[in-house]
Amino acid sequence: MKPEKFLLELEQILEQAGYTLRKERGSFRGDECIIEGQKLVMVNKNKPVASQLGTMGRVLGQIDLAGVYIKPAVRKKLEELWDQLAVTPEETSEDFELE
C-alpha cells in the first residue's frame, strides 16, 4: 500500500473514531487534543508523509478503536506502524520507514 493511500485510510479511521483531523502549517510536531469538547488531531502538513503517518499512528495506538471497522490490509499496516513506533507515550518516534 502506498504511503499516501495509507495516510487517507488513517484519516478515515480517525474520523470514524470521532476525531476531527486538522492539517496545519507551523513549527509543531502534531498530536491529539480536546478543545471545547471536540476531539482533534493536529498534523503538520509541512512534515513528510512518514511523519504525518507517525503522528496519526501514535494517536490511533492510544485510543479505543473498538467498534471502528478497519480493513484487514490497513490493520496489518497499522500494526506494523505501531511496532515501529513502539507505541508508548514516553518512547514514540515521529517517523517510520516507508516500504
Residues 92 and 58 sit within 8 Å (Cβ to Cβ): yes
SS3 content of the chain, % helix, strand, coil (to 5): 40, 20, 40
* Residue 30: strand, helix, or coil: strand
DSSP assignment, residue 15? H
pLDDT in the model for residue 92: 37
61: which 3 cell numbers? 495506538
pLDDT in the model for residue 26: 85
Q: What is the mean pLDDT of each run of 10 residues along the chain (99 residues)?
A: 93 94 88 87 91 92 90 93 70 44
Distance CA 81, CA 24 (A): 23
The domain segmentation of the chain, as residue ranges, is 3-85
pLDDT in the model for residue 87: 60
pTM for the model: 0.79
